[in-house]
Structures are given as C-alpha cells and as structure tokens.
C-alpha cells in the first residue's frame, strides 16, 4: 500500500485473507503521487497486489513489476493509470466504486453553501475586526446544473432534494426512471450553462472531457453563477476560470481539484485562484473523511483479494482486466 491513512480493520481483512501487508513509509505530507519510478519499483518489488493513491501507473512501471497482478485504486479516478498497458501486460486495474460517493457529495454541498454564503470573506473580515454583514445567496430554490450523473452525481441529487432546487443534468447516458423519480431534467450543455445558478462537475477526465470548461463554455454560464469542481482538475481550464472570477462574470467557485495537479506549469494559476476571496479551495480532499477512507480502503482491499483468489471483483470496480489476454499468450 503506497497510500496514507489506512485503517486497522482493512489491514486485518487483508491478513485474514492470506496477504502479507506492507505499507510504504512515506514522509509526513508526502503522497505516492510524488514518488519516482525507482522509489515505486523499490517499494513494490515482489508485490502481487498494489493499493494505490495518486501515483502515475505507467507501462514502464508495470513492466518492471512482473509479479504484480492487481492494481487497486483507493478512489474512483483512473486517469493516471495506463489501462491499455495494464491489459497488454496481463494486469487487473480496479477502482473503489461506491466507497466515497457520499463523502464527495457531502463535500460538494459544503462548497456550494460556503461559496454562496461567503463564509471565507466573512470570517476574514471578522478576524480583521470588520463585523459588517456580507449579503450571500441561497442554495434553496436555485437551479443546479450537474455535469455527469454517475454514482457521485446521483448522491448529490439525493442531498439536493432538501433544498427544493431545480436540477438540470448533462450526461451521455440517460436514466429516465431515476430522472422521473428525482425531478431531474436532462438538457444539453448550453442550456445547463445558461440557466444554472450553481454548476457542479462530476464527469470523468477523458480526452473528450478535458477542458470541457474553457473560456468559451465558461462565458456561456449565467452571470453571477458559481462553479464547483470536485471531480478532476483537467476538466476545467483554470486560467479561463481565473479570468471569469476576476472579471466578475462568475460570483465564485468551490474547488477541490486543480489543473496544476497534472500540469505543474499552471501552479501560479492555482495559487492566484486560492487567494481570491470568492473561492473556497480544498486540496483534493473531498473523499478524505474518516468514514469515506475506511469504506474505500475496504473496497480496494476486497478487489485485491478477489483477483489474487482468481475471482472477478464487482463489475463496477474493474476498469481493465488483462488476465484473458495473458492466458491466451501462455496457451
């Protein structure tokens, strides 16, 4: 395991299922996404299973680890894993589907409320001795646009029901039964941008969705709207977002992910964004509650045990399975 914050219950589960558990000794404040190729190969030498956080799982890395059978992400994103290489090399890649949906949906609501009610600006003023009241905005009876109605998007819909909002959704797949039961209206992206007071992104990062929120699309958002991104940094061109916030086109933003996570050259943009008084920022921490981490730890561990026992994890957890192609090659 190269991720921090692993609970004793999940370690016991792995040991009870015949695994020898080795935790990487990471310095305080360091995540596995900062480990080099050599550090990873050294830590993973001889390992059959790997529970990973944010490390880049490249073809070169997997080729250097012939004993490695399963890579299990403690999370649901897999844009840092070369899935084709995993399949080619006979590896299985899993995600902890369902483990952190509730935590991220809760965090999203928190970002909406914090931006709308101007918590950061108000507290900063109070610390400076200025107790003047800043006028915020309700989430109640607003229009909320959700881009991506997967597990987290659906959890968000359930939480929004108590705010009596109108919900607009953009998703390639339409679940009309869910929509009818939850008062959701499927629309095109342009309609969602034009009509939503809050826009929350919950789409995966792919070649097609990268920078789906750019200067052009952000300009189409309702003036005074709030943008929430608790999905992936590359979905939003943070440079365009910064311009829209500074110009006043957008009222604020709640950000848990940033472009600089994958593109260090944009670090200065991130630093300017998080200094803005109308931005509430967290360091990709939406899923990091005690309960959420315990759930995702266990799902990730269950996937490892299933693969090492020659079984197949739940379909929602498997994003690449190279075992069939490897068996064919052996034959």
State the pLDDT confidence band at 33, using cuts at 50, 70 and 90: confident
Q: Which range of residues forms the domain containing residue 324?
A: 8-99+288-330
Residue 262 has pLDDT above 70, yes or no: yes
Whether residues 27 and 89 share a domain: the answer is: yes
Residue 329 has pLDDT above 60, yes or no: no
The 10s digit of each residue's pLDDT in 203-224 is: 999 999 999 999 999 999 999 9
Q: How many structural domains are present in the chain? A: 2
H helices of the chain, in order, are 8-16, 37-44, 59-63, 83-88, 101-116, 119-127, 151-160, 176-182, 189-195, 215-219, 238-247, 267-275, 290-308, 323-330
Catalytic status, residue 195: no
Distance CA 302, CA 10 (A): 9
CATH for 125? 3.40.50.720
Within a domain: 3: no
Across the range 147-170, mean pLDDT stands at: 97
What pLDDT does 325 receive?
A: 60
Of the residues 69, 107, 261, 295, only one is catalytic, namely 261
Catalytic status, residue 284: yes
The helix, strand and coil proportions of the chain, stated in percent and rounded to the nearest 5, come to 45, 15, 40
State the pLDDT confidence band at 5, using cuts at 50, 70 and 90: confident
Of the residues 73, 118, 154, 284, only one is catalytic, namely 284
State the pLDDT confidence band at 120, using cuts at 50, 70 and 90: very high
318: phi then psi, degrees, rounded to nearest 5: -90, 120
Residue 25 has pLDDT above 90, yes or no: no
Distance CA 258, CA 268 (A): 11
Residue 116 has pLDDT above 80, yes or no: yes
Catalytic status, residue 261: yes
Whether residues 242 and 320 share a domain: the answer is: no
Please count the other Cβ atoms lying within 10 Å of the Cβ belonging to residue 275. 9
Mean pLDDT of the chain: 95
Of the residues 73, 151, 232, 295, only one is catalytic, namely 232
């Amino acid at each position: 395991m190269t991720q921090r914050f692993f609970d004793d219950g999940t370690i016991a589960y792995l040991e009870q299922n015949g695994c020898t558990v080795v935790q990487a000794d990471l310095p305080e404040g360091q995540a596995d996404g900062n480990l080099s190729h050599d550090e990873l190969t050294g830590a993973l030498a001889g390992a059959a299973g790997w529970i990973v956080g944010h490390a880049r799982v490249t073809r070169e890395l997997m080729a250097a680890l012939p004993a490695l059978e399963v890579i299990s992400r403690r999370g649901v994103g897999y844009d840092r894993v070369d899935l084709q290489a995993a399949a080619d090399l006979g590896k299985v890649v899993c995600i902890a589907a369902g483990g952190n949906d509730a935590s991220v949906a809760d965090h999203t609501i928190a970002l909406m409320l914090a931006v709308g009610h101007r918590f950061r600006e108000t507290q900063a003023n109070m610390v400076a001795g200025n107790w003047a009241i800043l006028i915020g905005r309700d989430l109640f009876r607003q229009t909320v646009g959700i881009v991506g109605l997967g597990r987290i998007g659906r959890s968000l819909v359930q939480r929004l029901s108590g705010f009596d909002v109108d919900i607009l959704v953009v998703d390639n797949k339409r679940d009309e039964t869910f929509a009818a039961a939850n008062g959701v209206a499927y629309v095109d992206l342009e309609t969602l941008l034009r009509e939503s007071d809050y826009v929350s992104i919950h789409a995966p990062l792919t070649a097609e969705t990268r920078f789906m929120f750019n200067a052009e699309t952000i300009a189409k958002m309702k003036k005074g709207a709030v943008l929430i991104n608790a999905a992936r940094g590359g979905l939003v061109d943070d440079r365009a977002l910064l311009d829209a916030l500074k110009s006043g086109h957008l009222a604020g933003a709640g950000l848990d992910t940033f472009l600089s996570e994958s593109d260090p050259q944009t670090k200065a943009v991130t630093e300017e964004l998080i200094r803005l008084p109308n931005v509430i920022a967290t360091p990709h921490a939406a899923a990091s509650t005690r309960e959420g981490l315990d759930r995702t730890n266990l799902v990730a561990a269950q996937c490892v045990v299933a693969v090492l026992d020659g079984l197949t994890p739940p379909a929602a957890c498997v994003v690449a399975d190279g075992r069939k192609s490897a068996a064919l090659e052996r034959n």
